[in-house]
Chains A and B, each alone.
Chain A
Amino acid sequence: MNKYPALARAQAIPGYVLDKLYHRLRSPSEPAAILKSITGLPNLVTLNAVRVFATLGIADVINGGTSDVEEIARKVGADFDGLSRVLRHLVGVGLLRYSGKGQVELTHVGALLIKGHPSLSSEMFQMDGIGRRFDATIAELMHSTMTGEPAYARANGEPLWNQLASDAQLARTFDIDMAQHIGSIGLTLAHSYDWSAISHVIDLGGGTGALLSHLLLEHRHLRGTIVEYADAATRARETLENSVLGSRLTVEEGSFFDELPKGADVYVLSWILHDWPDREAIEILKRARQAAGEKGQVFIIERPLDPKNLRTSTEDDLRVMVFVGGRERTLGEYSKVLAAADLQLHSTLQLRGRFTLMIARGIPSSEQMPGALKNVV
């Protein structure tokens, strides 16, 4: 048993030390990445402490010149003892620093939570935002396992899409969350594909335009259209009201389950298909295929499951199952749903952070019915 004393010692390291080590190893250098690493590992204590910090607007109070914890507590209407303990925890995770006895100041990470910071972190971590709803939903994994159905409604009263339509504050945090994930791949997408032959891109379920904005800023000849559902279209228009892209980026109200505007060169489905079971995914792809016609292409951006390295995506798979009844698929499974919509996987391109671009094109009618076509020609 004690043949390897070093190993035995290593095994005695408690979990929280490993957790620290894990954070340290992730040690990103940008504040936004640090904040993500602090809150990304769903340690519910830290996550909720950051939410309390954001919701009470403490970063703004400190930024306004108040550093005394007792005074901060008075200004935000918090219990002094409780608040000083939350702040003590946040000193530990690196959002704050002690600058004197009972005095705190913001670190460069804590400063992200000042209202109006371009990272929008303060809004992301509001207590009544999407994060807390997702926490409650994942706890209902039992329900989804028994029924195969999503559990968001069970945890939060009504299905996610309905709640987003009726709760503006919730929708705002959802949009920011999505935009942060998708925006990060927009730039990579702009540079990893030759866009010179493309002129019009339609982003189906493109949210508030995070992806198209990046793309259009990098390629001045491109025109973009976001197709979004009623309330989401309104939110997209509001977000893009003062965009420098002007008329190059437009918003059209519509659903990817209905007929879509025709004639664009590229139809993007970014992080959409994994929200839906096969039947719906095929329906969406059929609509995209119809609109794209023979010449257009369908760009699918997802994080496919790698059957040889399942560690990467099984977690996302259970998340989308519980949140919305969706599923993560392998490239093979994507090919199958594509084929069912008369689309063919033409090529794949590795984007950043496990995101993969799958380029699909309509199966030409000649390949579908080779015999019949030959006779006509």
Chain B
Amino acid sequence: MAAPRLIKSILGRAGSLAFWIRTSALPRLLPADECLSFLMTDDVSRNALRVAATLGIPDLIQQGVNDAQSIAAAVAANPDAVSRLLRHLAARGVFAVSSDHTLRLTKVGLLLTSGHPSSRRSEFDVNGAGPRFERALSGMLHSIRTGESAYEEIHGQSLWEQMTENPSLMDAFDSEMEHHARSTGAELLSKYPWNRYQSVADVGGGTGALLRVILDGNPHLKGTVIEMSDAVHRARRTLSDAGLSNRSDVVDGSFFDALPISADIYILSWILHDWNDRDAIRILRRCREGLKEGGRVLIIEKLLDRHPDTAMDLRMLVYFGGKERYLSEYEDVIGEASLALLQTIDLANGFCVLECGVASPMHSPPPEPPT
């Protein structure tokens, strides 16, 4: 009788232990970056962080505006609401409260200042992509009934359309992609034999962050970012800022049309999971058609085999009508585009590089008769 009760009481306490771990232990144990991502998993903290970052509260604290009243006055917000917002973020380890009730930035709060070298402030923009994606998730029923994205159903426009009209949305989206490009690029540099090739094109390469890393590490390479018209100037800026203008280019083009330039390597980084199989095959075909002799297509994605991230899969469905795939499913779309998977390279950040070459035709044409 006593034993089950004891177990029950321990289990009962496990809840509060978990709460303590979540709210107290983890913020202290985790590196600031992870801590911020962890806070994003709770809806109140996520939105509180967004409000603080959008209003520039961490910057204010850094400049010495460090009590709730002055902060509320500086951002013209409601003083009571601001003090409650700050109280919550202090309780979650984003700020620390001194004995005189002034606020200091913790290592987590510092990441939300504009001047921090790896500042994540723009990711937390209330008007950015995050809140829109979250709203789109409430349209999941539509996606399950139709098999299509729910983004348009909820917002009246697709994300791509919204980005064209709303530069700040594109900024927020780009900065997330840049985060990804940075973490992928460095490792890709050492794990792939770039010295065998002369030219590389990042298809849908966004701000050019990934290409910049690759060109930086390979002085012999020439590179191109292929992007839609409105994104072109941003990639151009990234590359010229890095002093790479002389061996890089940014070309306007869609990966659903014939690619504007031919290259030894086409990179499709975090692109295919945005699309359903039919569109993914179309994109891969355009790449195969543009590839130089002996060229390669590098698909960079997470594989469901390694990371059964079914939540990400549903996000892709609801946001874009896309999908996360198993390796075998990638092999299917690769094969449909007359490409062949040559090897897979696992990266430490969980992504996998699928290296593809042109499939040798199953029945090679008969040799030309000698003349």
Within 8 Å of chain B (Cβ to Cβ): is A64? no
Chain B residue nearest to A307 (CB atoms) is: B87
A127, A142, A317 pick with most chain B CB within 10 angstroms: A142
Count of A-B residue pairs with CB < 8 Å: 169
A16, A44, A45, A77 pick with most chain B CB within 10 angstroms: A44
Which chain A residues lie closer than 8 Å to B342 at the CB level?
none
Chain A residue nearest to B140 (CB atoms) is: A48
Within 8 Å of chain A (Cβ to Cβ): is B147? yes
Q: Is the CB of A43 within 8 A of B77?
A: no
Which chain B residues lie closer than 8 Å to A42 at the CB level?
42-43
Within 8 Å of chain B (Cβ to Cβ): is A88? yes
The listed residue (B15, B77, B135) touching A145 by CB distance below 8 A is B77
Within 8 Å of chain A (Cβ to Cβ): is B186? no
Which chain A residues lie closer than 8 Å to B80 at the CB level?
148
Within 8 Å of chain A (Cβ to Cβ): is B31? yes
- Measured CA separation A79–B310 after assembly (Å): 17
Which chain A residues lie closer than 8 Å to B42 at the CB level?
41-42, 315
The listed residue (A25, A29, A45) touching B18 by CB distance below 8 A is A25
Which chain B residues lie closer than 8 Å to A92 at the CB level?
308, 310
Contact residues of A between 69 and 94, Cβ < 8 Å to B: 77-83, 85-86, 88-89, 92
B122 CB, nearest partner CB in chain A, Å: 16
The listed residue (B47, B85, B138) touching A48 by CB distance below 8 A is B138
Which chain A residues lie closer than 8 Å to B140 at the CB level?
48-49, 51-52, 86
Classify the secondary structure of B's interface with A: helix
Contact residues of A between 13 and 59, Cβ < 8 Å to B: 14-16, 18-19, 22, 25-29, 41-46, 48-49, 51-52, 55-56
The number of residues on chain A lying at the interface, defined by a beta carbon within 8 Å of a beta carbon of chain B, is 60
Q: Is the CB of B81 within 8 A of A89?
A: no
Cβ contacts B212-233/A at 8 Å (1 or 0 each): 0000000000000000000000
Q: Is the CB of B88 within 8 A of A314?
A: yes
Which chain B residues lie closer than 8 Å to A19 at the CB level?
41
Q: Is the CB of B41 within 8 A of A138?
A: no
Which chain B residues lie closer than 8 Å to A81 at the CB level?
147
Chain A residue nearest to B37 (CB atoms) is: A15
A95 CB, nearest partner CB in chain B, Å: 12
Chain B residue nearest to A155 (CB atoms) is: B135
Within 8 Å of chain B (Cβ to Cβ): is A10? yes
Chain A residue nearest to B276 (CB atoms) is: A81
Q: Is the CB of A82 within 8 A of B11?
A: no
The listed residue (B21, B30, B43, B92) touching A135 by CB distance below 8 A is B43
The listed residue (B76, B138, B143, B323) touching A146 by CB distance below 8 A is B76
Q: Is the CB of A144 within 8 A of B81?
A: yes
Q: Is the CB of A43 within 8 A of B84?
A: no
- Measured CA separation A81–B80 after assembly (Å): 49
Which chain B residues lie closer than 8 Å to A88 at the CB level?
310, 313
Within 8 Å of chain B (Cβ to Cβ): is A132? yes
| B positions within 8 Å CB-CB of A | 8, 11, 14-15, 17-19, 21-24, 26, 29-31, 34, 37-38, 41-45, 47-48, 50-51, 54-55, 76-78, 80-82, 84-85, 87-88, 90-92, 126, 131, 134-135, 137-138, 140-141, 143-148, 308-311, 313-315, 317, 323, 350
> Can you add 17 more A-B contacts, CB < 8 Å, to A48-B137, A141-B85?
A7-B29, A18-B26, A22-B18, A43-B41, A49-B314, A79-B146, A85-B323, A92-B308, A138-B44, A138-B47, A139-B131, A141-B47, A142-B51, A146-B78, A310-B88, A315-B42, A321-B84
Can you offer 25 A-B residue contacts whose CB atoms are under 8 A? A11-B34, A18-B38, A22-B18, A26-B14, A27-B14, A28-B15, A41-B42, A45-B137, A48-B141, A51-B141, A78-B145, A79-B147, A80-B147, A86-B314, A89-B311, A132-B138, A136-B138, A138-B44, A138-B47, A141-B48, A142-B54, A145-B85, A146-B76, A310-B87, A310-B88
Which 3 residue pairs spanning A and B have beta carbons closest together? A79-B147, A148-B78, A314-B88
